[in-house]
């Protein structure tokens, strides 16, 4: 069969940019894709899921957030140590101590959706830049000026990104996509869907992702 004109497989990734397991899952996915033959490498599409949709637009202090979510920073430190170890295993050095403020991620998801459709560009560099900004550099990704700077660092037009962010473009669509994910039974992220057929929940390793990709091809 001539694969040069075949429709490439798709991979839908449901995630949130403040989810450390999503960052780890992204690294696992990259490792899996590296092992795929060129013709089997999917077109990746990013979809929103807000872990904390009720946070105010200006975010809240990190300590306050940790007390609400985990009962305090001590309990959070225990949990995050396990996440740090998993991150190191995936080649990431996650620096939770640099995070001063917990953001609402609606604008970040709006920016990803904009990048994904803007000039048909791949949004992956922006997704990577957002994860790195938050988990490695401790930047506040709830601020629109900061988001526009990150977009520029990822190769997008920062002025155009800021103009979009200062509007309400995409807000309704992001809320609907988040709601649709929950209606489909997705309760945690990351969540990977290969060719609309096979789903994988959590930051699964490359072997599990490769197996899911193969199952999707078989079902096709």
**What pLDDT, in 10s, does the model give residues 14-60?**
999 999 999 999 999 999 999 999 999 999 999 999 999 999 999 99
- Separation between Cα atoms, residue 203 and residue 12, nearest integer Å: 14
**What pLDDT, in 10s, does the model give residues 123-137?**
999 999 999 999 999
CA atoms within a 13 Å half-sphere pointing along the CA-CB vector of 195: 19
37: DSSP letter? -
| Contact between 36 and 98 (Cβ < 8 Å) | no
Instruction: Kindly report the pTM of this predicted structure.
Output: 0.95
Domains of the chain by start residue, with CATH: 10-219 (3.40.30.10)
What is the CB neighbour count within 10 angstroms for residue 113?
21
Checking if the pLDDT of 2 tops 80, the result is: no
**Average model confidence (pLDDT) for the chain?**
94
CA atoms within a 13 Å half-sphere pointing along the CA-CB vector of 142: 19
- Separation between Cα atoms, residue 136 and residue 193, nearest integer Å: 27
Average pLDDT over residues 179-203: 97
Q: What angle do CA 115, 46, 136 make, to 5 degrees?
A: 80
């Amino acid at each position: 069969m001539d694969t040069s004109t075949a429709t490439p497989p798709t991979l839908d990734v449901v995630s949130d940019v403040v989810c450390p397991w999503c960052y780890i899952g992204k690294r696992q996915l990259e490792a899996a894709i590296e092992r795929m033959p060129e013709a089997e490498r999917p077109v990746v599409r990013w979809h929103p899921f807000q872990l904390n949709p009720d946070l105010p637009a200006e975010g809240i202090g990190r300590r306050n957030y940790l007390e609400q979510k985990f009962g305090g920073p001590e309990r959070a430190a225990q949990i995050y140590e396990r996440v740090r170890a998993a991150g190191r295993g995936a080649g990431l050095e996650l620096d939770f101590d640099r995070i001063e403020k917990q953001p609402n991620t609606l604008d970040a998801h709006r920016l990803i959706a904009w990048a994904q459709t803007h000039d048909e560009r791949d949004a992956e560099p922006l997704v990577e830049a957002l994860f790195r900004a938050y988990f490695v550099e401790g930047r506040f990704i709830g601020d629109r000026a900061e988001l526009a700077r990150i977009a520029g660092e990822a190769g997008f037009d920062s002025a155009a990104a800021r103009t979009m962010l200062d509007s309400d473009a995409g807000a309704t669509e992001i809320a609907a996509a988040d709601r649709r994910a929950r209606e489909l039974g997705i309760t945690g992220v990351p969540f990977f869907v290969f060719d609309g057929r096979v789903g994988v929940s959590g930051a699964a390793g490359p072997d599990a992702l490769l197996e899911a990709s193969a199952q999707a091809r078989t079902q096709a």
